[in-house]
Structure 1
Amino acid sequence: MSDLEIRRATDDDIPAIVAMLADDPLGAQRESPDDLSPYRTAFARLADDPRQHLVVAVRDGRTVGTLHLTVIPGLSRRGATRSLVEAVRIHRDERGSGLGTQLIQWAIEASRREGCSLVQLTSDATRVDAHRFYERLGFEASHLGFKYRL
């Protein structure tokens, strides 16, 4: 297997990222890969915020994975800073290759460098395989999540 690079995403990565976000039953319902304009607007906001780390995994010049890490300062837990992992996606050709583990390990190390004391993530209740994956990496199911749509 060739070398893997995990780097900050650029505007040129948006089509590949959106394609991966849309490449499953949940994403197919909520993503619009044919209209990248809202993603480009969102990317500009992310790129301007130093607490946002949207990264891609690149192998042989091809974007094969992505992850979004947000650093969140807070007052609770004695003023602890925590991080939130979202939008972990692996290209279908790379699933099962260990790339997901490498991306999560990158997020944990980046969180340490940012001074975080906790890494958290959420996963849709229907993604049972993802839950097993995160538990295998040491994450514990600890909370019940809620959403309020605006």
Structure 2
Amino acid sequence: MDDRQSYTTNRLFRAKQAMNHKFNPTKTVAINWCTDAAQSEALTRFFVKHAHTQYISHSELQGSRAETPTRWRSDLAATLHEELKATLAQDPACADRLIALATIDGAIAGMALVSIGNKQDVATPYASLDDLIVHPDYRGAGIGRQFIAWLEQQMLKRGITRLFLESGEGNHDAHRFFEAQGFQPVSVVMMKELSHA
């Protein structure tokens, strides 16, 4: 089975699973900016549980989340919790980082972290979609598409007309999803481990 067949089979299975067992399409998905600092623990648990290692890209390696392209740091939960608390402490009206939350009947269905570009001399105002995670039970049910559409509208309201993201090299399902939402590759990031040997 090639990658495309595998992707299609997995996607159809997840969609069927979501529609038949977990997700009632008549339920409303609410997407809003999260401003409740008390949510930081629940968001940390959600991220740690649902972000597989294929998710790791260069910002996780350049920051404090991952040790290698295939391994999260052992203290990921503690590190991420502090990061999310700091983000939620900012006033969303002027914050340079924001957390969006998708909920169904009050339960977390997805989360997104967005960084607002704050360079004064930038030619085109931009933001970066740093993280987008949808609960596995709801993947294939359209929540990711709703999330992207909502984020685009929120960015446009702020005068932002360019949205970047990065994705781990092996995260092929995510690549196909984002390309279907209109994202396109603009660069390639490479890394080399250095040693004295």
Report the alpha carbon displacement of residue 123 of structure 1 after superposing the two structures with TM: 0.6
Correspondence for 1:73 = 118
Q: How does 1:7-26 map to 2 (within 5 A)?
A: 7-9=32-34, 10-22=36-48, 23-26=50-53
Correspondence for 1:103 = 147
Aligned residues of 1:71 and 1:114 also touching (Cα < 8 A): no
Q: Which has the higher contact order (CA 8 A, sep 6+)?
A: 2
Query: How many matched pairs?
Result: 146
**Residues 15-24 or 44-53, more deviating:** 15-24
Change (3 A) 1:95 1:31: farther
Change (3 A) 1:15 1:41: closer
Change (3 A) 1:147 1:87: farther
User: Secondary structure, in 3 states, of the residue corresponding to 1:45?
Assistant: helix
Change (3 A) 1:7 1:31: farther
Q: How does 1:25-64 map to 2 (within 5 A)?
A: 25-26=52-53, 29-30=71-72, 36-47=77-88, 48=90, 50-64=95-109
Report the alpha carbon displacement of residue 20 of structure 1 after superposing the two structures with TM: 3.4
Aligned pair partner of 1:132 in 167, 173, 176: 176
Change (3 A) 1:76 1:148: farther
Correspondence for 2:185 = 141
Q: Distance in 2 between matches of 1:111 and 1:148?
A: 34
Q: How does 1:84-123 map to 2 (within 5 A)?
A: 84-123=128-167
Report the alpha carbon displacement of residue 66 of structure 1 after superposing the two structures with TM: 0.4
Percent identity of paired positions between Structure 1 and Structure 2: 19
Aligned residues of 1:13 and 1:63 also touching (Cα < 8 A): no
Report the alpha carbon displacement of residue 71 of structure 1 after superposing the two structures with TM: 1.0
**Residues 2-11 or 108-117, more deviating:** 2-11
Q: Distance in 2 between matches of 1:145 and 1:101?
A: 26
Change (3 A) 1:143 1:102: same
Which structure would you say has the larger Rg? 2
Runs of 4+ in structure 1 deviating by more than 3 angstroms, as ranges, are 35-40, 146-149
Report the alpha carbon displacement of residue 18 of structure 1 after superposing the two structures with TM: 2.6
Aligned residues of 1:11 and 1:40 also touching (Cα < 8 A): no
- CA RMSD of superposed structures (Å): 2.6
